[in-house]
């Protein structure tokens, strides 16, 4: 078996998909993923306007140790070397996000200097034969729109569609796939009900309103993208496994409601044209600000769906209408405290395939884990991540065997980066970043993936 010379064969084998699986075929896409605010830095460069995450970071107590998005990984200045590293590792695709505050000014017009950065990035990808997949919204709403109500204001959905059309026109023919929103559940619920993310609001009613306007923005952006470019269009939804903590009816009911919130809220709207009925029981005071025709806009056909998956949650009744996460003892967890449970990825993909007859092709657009990684003698030994990747590859193949049309996988993340409210203490990258020096060190997981890609190329399937 061909491996990187610094890895033993048994180490490299930890990430290998099952022999003969679809993931060994050359037409199964393997990429790495990042997000603008988490890696770019340069938050005040070249006309970029402030975002809600700039404001959130500047608010004492919001982000661990007062960390901010600057300089992050300084990708704004180091993008060419980062793309070269991706090529060296053998990735065929790169999923990145376009910073709305970087490319659109506060008068809703294109900022040429901001757009030029993404042209340069796309040039670097083109030169190395790496396909570009662009996410339009990875949580960095311009602050001037938040000042007008943000996602609680229906007009933000229209502004998003305007931005989508303008940037698609500016980058027409250069992107292999457009992704409108990243994880609208996190934007809506974690940002508007829990307050752990920007804009830091804490009312479930706000989450319901924000979710509808996020999805409406997606629906309005789809035709705007298609009018300006021919690349496929999709949305990225985060999902997680949900299991009841006991057989008690109240815990079973709590699990059904958690499943509806975490996994069906977005996908039912996209593929069934309605919201799950269970949400009304969870938040009886919330009112969806829907108008006639909204759900038809939201549920327009997509070319693909992106699925982000990390963990399973075991939930119990909170004694009221909701649920709480039960910390199951004796299970494998990541640095985030999330349970490692690849079977839930398989089961969710199969369920979605059965629940949504119009489910388009699927890409796993994020999957990975945080660990407390350190450079030791020029190496980063992250065996847990290697096992994590290999086990999730097997789960994806099991879903494919059951008829799910999975066409690609993007590892989260290419680089250690700014992990939102956790600042820089959680490391999701397959490449270690020394934030003081900006030194990049591929971890053992990156070297093992490189060996797999080489072996797959030699197999020529």
Q: Calculate helix-pair angle for 154-170, 204-228, nearest 10 degrees.
A: 30
What is the per-residue pLDDT for 326? 87
Which pair of structure tokens corresponds to residue 347? 């089961």
Higher pLDDT, 313 or 328: 313
Beta strands 431-434 and 439-442, pairing class:
antiparallel
What whole-number distance in Å separates Cα of residue 372 and Cα of residue 428?
9
What gap in Å lies between CA 93 and CA 31, rounded to an integer?
4
Q: Give the H/E segment covering residue 62.
A: none
Distance CA 78, CA 181 (A): 25
pLDDT, one tens digit per residue, over 405-424 is 999 999 999 999 999 999 99
Q: What does the alpha-carbon distance between residue 203 and residue 336 come to, in Å, rounded to a whole number?
A: 25
DSSP-derived secondary structure for 196-217: SSTT----HHHHHHHHHHHHHH
Note the helical H segments in 40-151: 52-57, 75-89, 100-103, 112-127, 143-146
* pLDDT tier for residue 60 given thresholds of 50, 70 and 90: very high
Count of positions (residues) in the chain = 461
Percent over 70 (pLDDT), the chain: 99
Q: Which fold has domain 9-459?
A: TIM Barrel (3.20.20)
Query: Given this model, what pLDDT does residue 328 score?
Result: 87
List the structure tokens of 155. Answer: 């007009």
Is the backbone peptide bond immediately before 413 cis, with ω within 30 degrees of 0?
A: yes
Whether residue 443 contacts residue 432, with contact meaning beta carbons closer than 8 Å, is answered with yes
Question: Is the predicted pLDDT of residue 2 greater than 60, yes or no?
Answer: no
Mean pLDDT of the 365-381 span: 97
Cα–Cα distance for residue pair 275/294, rounded to 1 Å: 12
User: What pLDDT score does 460 carry?
Assistant: 76
In whole numbers, what is the pLDDT of the chain averaged over residues? 97
pLDDT average, residue stretch 43-66: 98
- pLDDT given at position 461: 62
Mean local confidence (pLDDT), 214-228: 99
pLDDT (0 to 100) of residue 314: 98
Residue 49 CA to residue 65 CA, distance in Å, equals 24
Position 355 scores a pLDDT of 98
Mean pLDDT, rounded, for 111-115: 98
The catalytic residue positions are 366
Give per-residue pLDDT as tens, 120-174. 999 999 999 999 999 999 999 999 999 999 999 999 999 999 999 999 999 999 9
Are 261 and 254 contacting, i.e. CB atoms less than 8 angstroms apart? no
Whole-angstrom distance, CA of residue 302 vs CA of residue 267: 12
Closest CA to 33 of 135, 110, 104: 135
Q: How far is residue 411's CA from residue 333's CA, in Å, rounded to a whole number? A: 18
Query: What's the rounded mean pLDDT across residues 232-241?
Result: 98
CB-based contact 461:101 (threshold 8 Å)? no
Residue 6, pLDDT score: 78
Does the structure show a pLDDT above 50 at 1?
Answer: no
Q: Both tokens of residue 74?
A: 């300084």
**What band does 4 get if pLDDT is binned at 50, 70 and 90?**
low
Residue pair 276/269 in contact by the 8 Å Cβ criterion? no
Rounded (to 5) percent helix, strand, coil in the chain: 45, 20, 40
Q: Where are the domains of the chain?
A: 9-459
Judged against a pLDDT cut of 60, whether residue 444 lies above it is answered with yes
Mean pLDDT for 248-255 is: 97
- The pLDDT value recorded for residue 5 is 57
Does residue 224 contact residue 296 with C-beta atoms inside 8 Å? no
Instruction: Reply yes or no on whether the pLDDT at 3 is more than 70.
Output: no
Tokens coding 158 = 């229209």
Task: Give pTM, 2 decimals.
Answer: 0.98
pLDDT average, residue stretch 438-454: 98
C-alpha to C-alpha distance for 321 and 314, rounded to whole angstroms = 16
């Amino acid at each position: 078996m061909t491996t990187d010379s610094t890895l033993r064969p048994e180490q490299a084998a930890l990430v290998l998909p099952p022999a003969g699986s679809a993931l060994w075929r050359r037409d199964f896409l393997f990429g790495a993923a990042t997000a603008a605010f988490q890696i770019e830095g340069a938050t005040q460069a070249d006309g970029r306007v402030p975002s809600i995450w700039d404001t959130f970071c500047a608010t004492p107590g919001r982000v661990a140790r007062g960390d901010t998005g600057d300089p992050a990984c300084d990708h704004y200045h180091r993008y060419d070397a980062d793309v070269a590293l991706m090529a060296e590792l053998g990735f065929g695709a790169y999923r990145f996000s376009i910073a709305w505050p970087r490319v659109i000014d506060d008068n809703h017009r294109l900022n040429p200097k901001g757009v030029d950065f993404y042209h340069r990035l796309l040039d670097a990808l083109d030169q190395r034969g790496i396909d570009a997949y662009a996410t339009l919204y990875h949580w960095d709403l311009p602050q001037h729109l938040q000042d007008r109500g943000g996602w609680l204001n229906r007009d933000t959905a229209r502004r998003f569609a305007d931005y989508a059309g303008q940037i698609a026109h500016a980058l027409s023919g250069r992107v292999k796939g457009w992704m409108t929103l990243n994880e609208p559940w996190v934007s809506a619920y974690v940002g508007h009900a829990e307050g752990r993310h920007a804009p830091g609001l804490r009312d479930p009613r706000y989450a319901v309103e924000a979710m509808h306007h996020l999805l409406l923005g997606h629906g309005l952006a789809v035709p705007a993208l298609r009018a300006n470019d021919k690349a496929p269009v999709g949305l990225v939804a985060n999902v997680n496994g949900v299991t009841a903590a006991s057989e008690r009816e109240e815990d079973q009911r709590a699990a059904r409601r958690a499943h509806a919130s975490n996994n069906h809220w977005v996908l039912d709207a996209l593929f069934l044209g309605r919201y799950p009925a269970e949400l009304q029981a969870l938040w009886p005071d919330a009112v969806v600000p829907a108008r006639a025709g909204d759900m038809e806009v939201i549920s327009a056909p997509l070319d693909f769906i992106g699925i982000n998956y990390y963990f399973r949650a075991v939930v119990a009744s909170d004694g009221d209408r909701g649920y709480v996460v039960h910390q199951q003892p004796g299970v494998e967890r990541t640095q985030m405290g999330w349970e490692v449970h690849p079977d839930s990825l398989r089961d969710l993909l199969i369920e979605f395939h059965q629940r949504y007859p119009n489910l388009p092709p699927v890409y796993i657009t994020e999957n990975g884990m945080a660990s407390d990684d350190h450079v030791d003698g020029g190496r980063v030994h992250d065996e847990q991540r290697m096992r994590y990747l290999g086990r999730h590859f097997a789960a994806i193949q099991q879903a494919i065997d059951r008829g799910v049309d999975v066409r690609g996988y993007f590892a989260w993340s290419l680089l250690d980066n700014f992990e939102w409210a956790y600042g820089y203490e959680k490391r999701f990258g397959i490449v270690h970043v020394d934030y003081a020096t900006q030194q990049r060190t591929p971890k053992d997981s990156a070297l093992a993936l490189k060996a797999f890609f080489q072996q797959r190329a030699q197999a020529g399937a």
